[in-house]
Chains A and B, each alone.
Chain A
Amino acid sequence: MSTAIEVSHLRKEFRLKTAIKDISFSVEAGTVFSLLGVNGAGKTTTIRILTGLSRPTAGDAVILGHSISRELDLVKKISNLSPQETSVASNLTVRENLEFIAGIYGMNKAKTEENTNRMIALFSLEEVEKSKAKILSGGWQRKLSIAMALITEPKILYLDEPTLGLDVLARKELWNIIEKIKEQVTIVLTTHYMEEAERLSDRIAVMVSGEIQAVGTPEELKAQTGTDTLEDAFIKIAERGNVVCGH
């Protein structure tokens, strides 16, 4: 397996707050990597830096061989993001939203049509295809939002809290979809739901107050902390504060 993302000593300071403090991790190609942490842990900030929405104060990340500080244009072409807040064009229909994004990424008409149809099938969007995005429920909007990220054929897909605010059924459905698409793309997702991290991730990084406190497979994290559930492992890791565990 090859390394898709190599993050080294990333740091982000805001005027009054250091949101992430010297984090490093790597993600293997073709796997799902989760940043697990409570609100304010620094997950979104990390994703923003990796996607070029925000510049790091220090450190760098290399995405499939391209540095985010020196080759951002190349990085942007091979990655895409479904933001924490569902971001769809509210007055466009589901199909138009997908076609719009494909166009922005330079796909020609035939390719746009082909990929749009593929996304509509993959995310079962047929019944809402002609509806304006603003009338869709949270679950539909979230599916559209992820489809809009996947339609550009990214090599790396970032999902920031993909099931935040969804009901049980919508969440289960989205998990099934994520399991389906993980065969095509390397996924980095953030979540504060233990069940979600455990079900979807190959590896998990536990983030506490801007630092990564532990990294491993769900089984490794449980073994390291001597606990039976990921939730207990998470609590132990979070309480341990600054003692870094891992390999």
Chain B
Amino acid sequence: MRALIFSKRTWKEIMRDPLSYIFCLGFPVVMLFIMTAVNKNIPEEAGMHLFEIQSLAPGIAVFGLSFVMLFACIQVSKDRSTAFLLRLYVSPMKPSDFISGYTLPMLWTAFLQEIITFFVSIMIGFTADVSFQPIRLILCLAALIPAGLLFIGFGLLFGSLLSEKAAPGICSVVISVVCFLGGIWMDVDSLGGTLAKICHVLPFYHAVHAARIVLSGDFGDAGTSIFVLLLYSVLIFLLAAFVLREKIQKDLR
């Protein structure tokens, strides 16, 4: 009950911050349009399919999740920097209430973001004579859930560890890493070498790959990616929950 009430408050904070609309909702949509325009200028012979809408949409969906991470991070570090948390520390709030109270509204934000991203993608698909199968879209949304948890976990982790000032900086580094090594803007599979190995060890490539492959209907090696992703999200999330709990307890010394 306390967790739900705290969630409601976090949700209101998100909804009343104009930056949420710009980054969490507006930015992914803008990127969809820009990359679609870029794709129109890539000659057919180049054999470059990354920016075609079926492959672009899942990439942008994961890109959008990295902004949910930024928001989770800013919210936690901002709360920690004000005396508002003192009030909650003297209340009967437990660390688990804080953790779910931050996670639930962020998951909900992520969900709305994905719906909007795919809705716009379907519209773009119409113009290019590409249609999305509803069942695959739903499976793709499901495949994005562990990715959402992973990014929210990162957000909580950075938000607990970093100050309000340092938090956005570190998050933008992670966002860049996600973009480059996640294979959103470039074809990681054709890379080879050490860089490809790094990509495969990190979870971001798998988040994008799993969503893409599920949407394409060719399930191929989706299992491996989803497994790696699940493993990472559980680990990062547990680590974040642990660190947040430690931080709260340390604040109380």
Contacts and interface: CB of A to CB of B under 8 A. Distances in A.
B84 A105 contact: no
Report, as a range, how many residues of chain A touch the other chain.
20 to 34
A132 B16 CA distance: 10
Contact of A87 (B6, B83, B93): B83
Given A83-B86, A83-B87, A91-B17, A104 B93 contact: yes
Contacts of A96: 9, 12
Given A91-B13, A91-B17, A54 B83 contact: no
Report, as a range, how many residues of chain B touch the other chain.
20 to 34
A91 B16 contact: yes
Contacts of B16: 91, 132
A98 interface: no
Nearest to A103: B5
Nearest to A152: B91
B253 interface: yes
B90 interface: yes
Contact of B86 (A81, A90, A92, A104): A81
A183 interface: no
A54 B13 CA distance: 28
Contacts of B253: 54-55
A53 B91 contact: no
A112 to B, nearest CB: 10
Interface string B77-94: 000001111111111110
Interface in A40-64: 51-55
15 contacts: A55-B252, A76-B92, A81-B90, A85-B83, A85-B86, A87-B84, A87-B85, A87-B86, A90-B82, A91-B13, A92-B9, A96-B9, A103-B1, A103-B5, A104-B2
Interface of A: 51-55, 73, 76-77, 79-81, 83-92, 96, 100-101, 103-106, 132, 148, 152
Interface of B: 1-2, 5-6, 8-9, 12-13, 16-17, 82-93, 252-253
